[in-house]
Chain A
Amino acid sequence: DPKIIQKPKYLVAVTGSEKILICEQYLGHNAMYWYRQSAKKPLEFMFSYSYQKLMDNQTASSRFQPQSSKKNHLDLQITALKPDDSATYFCASSQERQGGTEVFFGKGTRLTVV
Chain B
Amino acid sequence: SQLAEENLWALSVHEGESVTVNCSYKTSITALQWYRQKSGEGPAQLILIRSNEREKRNGRLRATLDTSSQSSSLSITATRCEDTAVYFCATDAWGGRALIFGTGTTVSVSP
Instruction: State yes or no: do A and B come from one complex.
Output: yes
CB of B3, distance to nearest CB on chain A (Å)? 11
Q: With A and B bound together, what is the CA distance between A90 and B37 in angstroms?
A: 12
Q: Which of B42, B44, B97 contacts A48 (CB 8 A)?
A: B97
Q: Which of A56, A99, A102, A107 contacts B42 (CB 8 A)?
A: A107
Please give me the residue from chain A that is nearest to B96 by CB atom: A99
Judged by a CB distance under 8 angstroms, whether A98 is at the interface is yes
Residues of A contacting B44 with CB < 8 Å?
A: 104-105
Judged by a CB distance under 8 angstroms, whether B88 is at the interface is yes
Judged by a CB distance under 8 angstroms, whether B99 is at the interface is yes
Judged by a CB distance under 8 angstroms, whether B56 is at the interface is no
- Are A42 and B45 also in contact (CB < 8 A) when A56-B97, A100-B96 are? no
Residues of A contacting B41 with CB < 8 Å?
A: 107-108
CB of A50, distance to nearest CB on chain B (Å)? 8
Residues of B contacting A45 with CB < 8 Å?
A: 93, 98-100
CB of B12, distance to nearest CB on chain A (Å)? 21
Q: With A and B bound together, what is the CA distance between A58 and B41 in angstroms?
A: 23
Judged by a CB distance under 8 angstroms, whether B111 is at the interface is no
For chain A residues 54-104, which have a beta carbon within 8 Å of chain B?
55-56, 58, 90, 92, 97-104
Please give me the residue from chain B that is nearest to A110 by CB atom: B40
Please give me the residue from chain B that is nearest to A99 by CB atom: B96
The answer on a CB contact under 8 Å between B98 and A48 is yes
Question: Which listed segment binds A: B14-22, B57-65, B66-74, B101-109?
Answer: B101-109
Judged by a CB distance under 8 angstroms, whether B85 is at the interface is no
The answer on a CB contact under 8 Å between A56 and B50 is no
**Which B residues have a C-beta under 8 Å from some C-beta of A?**
2, 29-31, 33, 40-45, 48, 50, 88, 90, 92-104
A99-B92, A104-B44 given. 17 additional CB < 8 A pairs? A42-B88, A42-B101, A42-B103, A43-B43, A45-B93, A45-B98, A56-B97, A56-B98, A99-B29, A99-B31, A99-B95, A100-B31, A100-B50, A103-B33, A103-B45, A107-B40, A108-B41
Q: What 10 A-B pairs are tightest by C-beta distance, nearest first?
A: A99-B96, A105-B42, A99-B30, A100-B31, A99-B92, A43-B101, A45-B98, A98-B96, A42-B103, A102-B45
